[in-house]
Amino acid sequence: MAGTDSGNLKTVRLWRDAALRARKLRSNLRQLTLSAAGGCPGTDQLDSPDAPQLVLPANIGDIEVLNLGNNGLEEVPDGLGSALGSLRVLVLRRNRFARLPPAVAELGHHLTELDVSHNRLSVLSAEVVSALRELRKLNLSHNQLPALPAQLGALIHLEELDVSFNRLAHLPDSLSCLSRLRAVDVDHNQLTAFPWQLLQLAALEELDVSSNRLRGLPEDISALRALKILWLSGTELGTLPSGFCELASLESLMLDNNGLQALPAQFSRLQRLKMLNLSSNLLQEFPAALLPLAGLEELYLSRNQLTSVPSLISGLGRLLTLWLDNNRLRYLPDSIVELTGLEELVLQGNQIAVLPDNFGQLSRVGLWKIKDNPLIQPPYEVCMKGIPYIAAYQKELAHSQPAVQPRLKLLLMGYKAAGKTLLRHCLTEDRVEGNQGGEDKKSHPPSPPPVSKGIEVTSWTADASRGLRFIVYDLAGDDSYEVIQPFFLSPGALYVLVVNLATYEPLRFPTTVGSFLHRVGARVPHAVVCIVGTHADLCGEQELEEKCLDIHRQIALQEKHDAEGLSRLAQVVDEALARDFELRSASPHAAYYGVSDKNLRRRKAHFQYLLNHRLQILSPVLPVSCRDPRQLQRLRDKLLSVAEHREIFPNLHRVLPRSWQVLEELHFQPPQAQRLWLSWWDSARLGLQAGLTEDRLQSALSYLHESGKLLYFEDSPALKEHVFHNLSRLIDILNVFFQRDPSLLLHKLLLGTSGEGEAENRGESSPLMAPPAPSQDALRATQLHHYVEGFLLHGLLPAHVIRLLLKPHIQAQQDLQLLLELLEKMGLCYCLNKAKGKPLNGSTAWYKFPCYVQNEVPHAEAWINGTNLAGQSFVAEQLQIEYSFPFTFPPSLFARYSVQINSHVVHRSDGKLQIFAYRGKVPVVVSYRPAKGVLQPDTLSIASHASLPNIWTAWQAITPLVEELNVLLQEWPGLHYTVHILCSKCLKRGSPNPHAFPGEMCSGVKKQSPLWGDGYQRVAAKGELLSQPRPEGVAEIICPKNGSERVNVALVYPPTPTVISPCSKKNVGEKHRNQ
Ligand SMILES: Nc1nc2c(ncn2[C@@H]2O[C@H](COP(=O)(O)OP(=O)(O)OP(=O)(O)O)[C@@H](O)[C@H]2O)c(=O)[nH]1
Ligand SMILES: [Mg+2]
């Protein structure tokens, strides 16, 4: 198979040819295009038993160009041969001809062009072929021809011949007589050697032999001296003969996918080469023979095994395009910056740590890909932003004093009571007591608190001599924190998964280890994880060994299972890609029915990404007892040695601009240090003080986020306006809402009321640990108790009770308001009774925290129409988009999503697994169905219904919700999920297993754009839903679950684009910032 690049290039060429052809035809020929009734054939027409009939109009004797393409014809219209005395060009492409229509022979003495591509020809009649003596161009591609007749040799005027995508194993000998042939396409056939007949064609300028198993080229290929364009992608060449280097006219050469390990030395004689594709070969060294090819403009060397690029590459001064992705490059030569004409530079998937100085000189580069390199200098986040940012960074570095500041974010995760907090105390305290003293000691009590305080962040100077610090995030294990935990998982951190070995048993692996690994992997692909087993002192020696081994074994099994699952999915995509798009679109039974090649390739790339970015789990399990100082010391040493690994944690070893350090210091100085968060503008002002302009501030903040010092959600449209530098205060506040203990909550409320009117207790000591409040009015206590119950059962709290809860943390009413807005933005709660943007006019605002909702089903009254989607039959048509999550479902996703949709719906009623609501007057249902075993994955679906003529209202209702979900899912780049549109007929029938049309379906045969892509390019996916036209000329689509049943196309495709989605928060943010 030709590679992706060759696919792209080929497409470009095809387009160019088509455009030229069309222009030529338009210029001065009399043309006629005829279509069968019903327009172009869609899926349904292809399957219909009756072939359409065409009738030729009268008086067409002077027509020179006749286009009968795209009509599903099996026979040409009657009288074709006799009626068209002047016909020169006949287009029969995309029909159903099984043989060349005999009538075509009658046109032979004047026909110069014949296009019968994309038909079902399996044989060519010698008689018809030999009649076409005047032909200049013949297109027979995309048929099923096993051979060509010898009579082809009689078409002595033939200049262009396209027989690609057939089943040819040989070419007829007579082909060698066609001395005027200028362009030949025999790609995608079953040739087993380079056809000698072609060597006789001295006029040949363009030749495509790709995707045949040639296994080598003849030495006398040198005979093709006129050849300008040669495509040899995927032909298993292995080596090139030296005669190849005599093809001195070559301008474009595709040699990708050929197992080439080297090029012949004389290759440099191909001095006219402008485009060379050597991707997907086995080159270990950059071929020296390329360096003298001074005219090269495009050079593709993707997917080889190159370890370096010679500095003489600067001699290729005309290069516009240079692709070096997916090699093993560790650095680039300094001279690469001299290639100032470069417009495309692709370096993704190498081992590059440092970019040369003055890299910013490559300012013309528009297509820039650098992902998946262990970049240190400039830092990864700068490189990702593009060449102008690199230029700015390098300029800045040159003017500032670099300072090294090793610091690493360390996250302790694990099931509740795994021993995280004690481990944190022991790891950090002993050290402090040992030799350093200072800040850390003061911030920790000598022994851990009896009750979990929730999430905590502390700083731990692990190696004073190097100044190495860990910022330790202790993520409480209780389920209630699941909804906020993901905010703290970020790339570039060290993850420590803590397991209680005393209580561990093999059956508990999924809950205590497996699910945590899945969560981290979904949020932070490629994260580095180390597994620590605590409570070793409570286990016998053999028990310890067995348990550690079991964890190790089960991790390996889980990894294998996931990787195999992904590979299988990738294989299905490959198989679908190997089939032609039209074949795929012809049968609703086919996998990826109707999905465009582009979408499939995107999906394939996503699977590849997931497979290449598995977690990096450092084995084996490290057992430790918090009672044994020696074991603790061993663990400390281990963590330090992991952190020291340059390849694993490049961040820790990089040199940072002085201004970044100043920025950090400024954030933590009074008065701003006291504030809960800073707005982007506040932060930008500090940046200016540090000498950082706004454009460069982003990189500095991303760095501070990754190294754990603050939280800055660059990718979240809702949160990127804030910089959370006061971590401990923010976390204290978040903890207040997620400590599910009723007595603690009540205690806090009583404390809050006791403070009313008194001097405010603003001490730093936790209210949790404070002594019980003085006696309260019993009535008041009962009332508060009632609120606590309502909160824990339904997630409901009125604003004034929230104020009581937050009393120790909040100064003014205004702060409370800001904080509530923040909680809404974070997707933790929403205001029940506040209309969008309107004040409450004095009434109490009630807040709902969906993660607390306990009732299984929403209150049925809200679903006034009395419909349910559980399987009854309906009068209305059902629309249901289903997201399914075969590997893992982020535990907090449904709760977060419940909040995200609030601005789009009214009259909602929430259950633990379902939300009933309305978009205007149209009902919508959002349902989460947890997995039931391996065969039925977790699903999240969005549904609505309406009568068929009004089905657009249902689309309008669910579209913003779908978009909202796509936005949310971007927070989990390592998550695999699929999107489907369930068959409305099946739903109506109450089928327990309705057919699922692929969500990235594209519209029929003509348009190849995606309905909405899922997975990889999620940003692109967003919004495509509404911008997607339905396939023209297709009214119904067959539902394969029930053979002949047809579903109205309006139930599978959204209507023509009419509505702009209201959910572009990103734009709102941008606008705000630009003000
Ligand atoms: N014997 C023994 N007890 C331990 C060890 N590590 C932790 N513990 C005890 O186990 C209990 C739970 O430990 P924590 O550190 O609070 O657990 P955690 O993982 O922080 O729990 P959450 O914060 O609720 O998720 C405490 O009583 C600890 O004293 C250990 O290595 N040996
Ligand atoms: Mg804890």
Q: Concatenated DSSP letters for 332-345?
A: --GGGGG-TT--EE
Q: Is the pLDDT of residue 245 over 90?
A: yes
Instruction: Determine if the peptide bond prior to 378 is cis (ω within 30°).
Output: yes
CA–centroid distance, 424 to ligand 2, in Å, is 9
Instruction: Name the band, by pLDDT with cuts 50, 70 and 90, for residue 446.
Output: very low
Instruction: Name the band, by pLDDT with cuts 50, 70 and 90, for residue 975.
Output: very high
Dihedrals φ, ψ of 367, to 5°? -95, 110
- Which is the closest atom of ligand 1 to the Cα of 424? 15
pLDDT in the model for residue 507:
96
Instruction: Name the band, by pLDDT with cuts 50, 70 and 90, for residue 762.
Output: very low
Ligand number nearest CA of 479 is 1
Contact 554, 506 (CB under 8 A): yes
Dihedrals φ, ψ of 998, to 5°? -60, 135
d(CA 992, CA 982): 11
pLDDT in the model for residue 622:
94
Instruction: Name the band, by pLDDT with cuts 50, 70 and 90, for residue 50.
Output: low
pLDDT in the model for residue 560:
95
- Mark 921-932 as b/e (b = at least 16 C-beta within 10 Å): ebbbbbbbbebe
CA–centroid distance, 478 to ligand 2, in Å, is 9
In terms of average pLDDT, the best of 165-174, 635-644, 903-912, 1063-1072 is 165-174
Instruction: Name the band, by pLDDT with cuts 50, 70 and 90, for residue 84.
Output: confident
In terms of average pLDDT, the best of 11-20, 547-556, 959-968 is 547-556
Nearest CA to ligand 1 atom 7: 419
Instruction: Name the band, by pLDDT with cuts 50, 70 and 90, for residue 77.
Output: confident
Contact 427, 636 (CB under 8 A): yes
464: exposed, middle or buried (Cβ count in 10 Å: 0-12, 13-18, 19+):
middle
* 1016-1032 average pLDDT score: 39
Q: Is the pLDDT of residue 839 over 70?
A: no
DSSP 514: I
Contacts of 684 (CB under 8 A, 6+ apart): 694, 697
Mutation to probe ligand 1, out of 458, 473, 626, 744 (largest number of atoms < 8 A from CB): 626
pLDDT tens across 646-675, in order? 778 877 777 778 888 889 999 998 888 888
pLDDT in the model for residue 283:
96
CA–centroid distance, 445 to ligand 1, in Å, is 15
d(CA 1000, CA 978): 9
Poorest-confidence range of 890-894, 965-969, 1063-1067? 1063-1067
Parallel/antiparallel/unpaired status of strands 655-656 and 616-623 = unpaired
d(CA 766, CA 737): 14
Of the CA atoms within 13 Å of residue 966, those in its CB half-sphere come to: 28
**pLDDT-above-70 percentage for the chain:** 82
pLDDT in the model for residue 280:
92
Contact 704, 784 (CB under 8 A): no
**pLDDT-above-90 percentage for the chain:** 43
d(CA 376, CA 612): 21
- Residue 170: other Cβ atoms inside 10 A: 16
Q: At what angle do helices 951-969 and 893-900 cross, to 10 degrees?
A: 130
Poorest-confidence range of 255-264, 737-746, 831-840? 831-840
d(CA 71, CA 92): 9
CA–centroid distance, 821 to ligand 2, in Å, is 28
The alpha carbon of 894 is separated from its chain's Cα centroid by a whole number of angstroms, namely: 21
CA–centroid distance, 789 to ligand 1, in Å, is 29
pLDDT in the model for residue 1009:
26
Q: Give the mean pLDDT of the chain.
A: 81
Q: Is the pLDDT of residue 384 over 50?
A: yes
Contact 5, 323 (CB under 8 A): yes
CA–centroid distance, 76 to ligand 1, in Å, is 82
Could you list the beta-strand ranges (E) of 273-330.
Answer: 275-277, 298-300, 321-323
Could you list the beta-strand ranges (E) of 789-921.
Answer: 796-798, 830-831, 846-848, 877-885, 906-910, 914-919
Q: Is the pLDDT of residue 2 over 80?
A: no
Query: Whose structure tokens read 């401990």?
Result: 728
Q: Is the pLDDT of residue 320 over 80?
A: yes
841: exposed, middle or buried (Cβ count in 10 Å: 0-12, 13-18, 19+):
exposed
Instruction: Name the band, by pLDDT with cuts 50, 70 and 90, for residue 1032.
Output: low
CA–centroid distance, 532 to ligand 1, in Å, is 13
Give the H/E segment covering residue 568: helix 541-578
Neighbours of ion ligand 2 (CB under 5 A): 420-421, 452
Q: Is the pLDDT of residue 951 over 80?
A: yes
Nearest CA to ligand 1 atom 1: 535
Poorest-confidence range of 45-54, 605-614, 659-668? 45-54
Bridge partners, residue 877, by sequence? 946
CA–centroid distance, 920 to ligand 1, in Å, is 51
pLDDT in the model for residue 407:
86
Q: Is the pLDDT of residue 4 over 60?
A: no
Contact 544, 625 (CB under 8 A): no
Contact 426, 626 (CB under 8 A): yes
DSSP 137: E
365: exposed, middle or buried (Cβ count in 10 Å: 0-12, 13-18, 19+):
buried
Distances (CA, A) of 979 to 250, 829, 878, 942, 965: 46, 26, 17, 11, 11
d(CA 573, CA 570): 5
Contact 84, 114 (CB under 8 A): no
d(CA 977, CA 546): 35
Poorest-confidence range of 262-276, 856-870, 942-956? 856-870
Dihedrals φ, ψ of 440, to 5°? -60, -40
* 574-583 average pLDDT score: 78
pLDDT in the model for residue 568:
92
Longest CA–CA span in the chain (Å) reads 110
pLDDT in the model for residue 201:
95
The length of the chain is: 1075
- Which is the closest atom of ligand 1 to the Cα of 534? 31
pLDDT in the model for residue 439:
38
d(CA 800, CA 412): 35
pLDDT in the model for residue 318:
95
- Residue 401: other Cβ atoms inside 10 A: 10
pLDDT higher at 467 or 64: 64
pLDDT in the model for residue 13:
58
pLDDT tens across 396-442, in order? 777 666 666 688 999 999 999 999 999 999 998 754 333 333 333 33
Mutation to probe ligand 1, out of 421, 537, 634 (largest number of atoms < 8 A from CB): 421
1071: exposed, middle or buried (Cβ count in 10 Å: 0-12, 13-18, 19+):
exposed
Contacts of 748 (CB under 8 A, 6+ apart): 736, 767, 768, 804, 805
Ligand number nearest CA of 623 is 1
pLDDT in the model for residue 905:
92
Contact 337, 362 (CB under 8 A): yes
d(CA 100, CA 122): 10
Q: Ligand 1 site: residues with CB under 6 angstroms? A: 414, 416-422, 448, 452, 476-478, 498, 534-535, 537-538, 625-627
* DSSP reduced 3-state for 166: coil
- Which is the closest atom of ligand 1 to the Cα of 414? 19
Contact 1041, 983 (CB under 8 A): yes
d(CA 551, CA 509): 7
d(CA 596, CA 373): 30
Parallel/antiparallel/unpaired status of strands 407-413 and 468-474 = parallel
Nearest CA to ligand 1 atom 4: 535
CA–centroid distance, 524 to ligand 2, in Å, is 22
Q: Where does 432-540 have alpha helices with state H?
A: 439-443, 509, 515-523
- Which is the closest atom of ligand 1 to the Cα of 498? 19
Closest C-alpha among 576, 579, 581 to residue 43:
581
Contacts of 10 (CB under 8 A, 6+ apart): 2, 231
Instruction: Name the band, by pLDDT with cuts 50, 70 and 90, for residue 1031.
Output: low
CA–centroid distance, 554 to ligand 2, in Å, is 25
Nearest CA to ligand 1 atom 6: 419
pLDDT higher at 61 or 540: 540
Distances (CA, A) of 73 to 32, 283, 402, 583, 811: 17, 49, 73, 17, 79
Six token digits for residue 413: 């995760």
* 222-242 average pLDDT score: 94
For CA atoms 246, 249, 251, 257, give the dihedral sign. Answer: negative
For CA atoms 1012, 1018, 1022, 1027, give the dihedral sign. Answer: negative
Closest C-alpha among 890, 880, 885, 887 to residue 927:
880
Alpha-carbon dihedral 889, 894, 895, 897, rounded to 10 degrees: 120
> Which strands, in side-by-side order, build the sheet including 796-798?
796-798, 846-848, 830-831
Contact 886, 937 (CB under 8 A): yes
pLDDT in the model for residue 443:
37
- Which is the closest atom of ligand 1 to the Cα of 454? 23
Closest C-alpha among 160, 124, 161 to residue 144:
124
* 306-316 average pLDDT score: 93
pLDDT in the model for residue 473:
95
Q: Is the pLDDT of residue 869 over 60?
A: no
pLDDT in the model for residue 254:
95
